[in-house]
Structure 1
């Protein structure tokens, strides 16, 4: 997911417009996403990994850290304008997917593999 930040005509942006929202800088451009800037540039930001999600919607963003856990996700950061429109009250929270849980098997006869090697030529078959 990508998003432009900066409003024409005076587009004053820097990398913190991305990083403060948990995003990375893709590129800068004078007319990115709409009207051209007479001063400065707009910045295009994107989430580093698919699956990140903002919780809380403007204008009253009531996102709390516990919302991430309630959605089986991990908390990344809190921001008043993350992922789009700014909040008039409250903040939004950025959540990321939890790593997958890998089940391990108990060491029992059903999951254990034994190798037995026997040299049949070492036995005296003929007497």
Structure 2
């Protein structure tokens, strides 16, 4: 059986805890670590809340500039549009940045949210005749 420093340290900490000592320094303590050892531990800094940027840095030309400009004018994010239309944020991004055309019911919700007619955003949109 090979000697392992991590195993021997583990046993040492266990022995110290059995006798009511700090696992790290061996001073009397009711908790796992005494206040001095606990104070020396690095604690992660809490992350600040960062609001998602409203405007996206464009890497390529926009597919739907009208939709994007209205979204920015009304201070909406893609997450707001997605929540209103009942789709994922990625789907809403596809509509705005990649030129994907939404389904009929989503188009009406999107136009209602942005207060425009369907023909303004999708002049060639063909309404399906499912009846």
TM over 0.5: no
Question: How does the TM-score come out when normalised to structure 1?
Answer: 0.24
Higher relative contact order (CA 8 A, sep 6+): 1
User: Higher strand proportion, which one?
Assistant: 1
Question: How does the TM-score come out when normalised to structure 2?
Answer: 0.24
Higher radius of gyration, 1 or 2: 2
User: Higher helix proportion, which one?
Assistant: 2
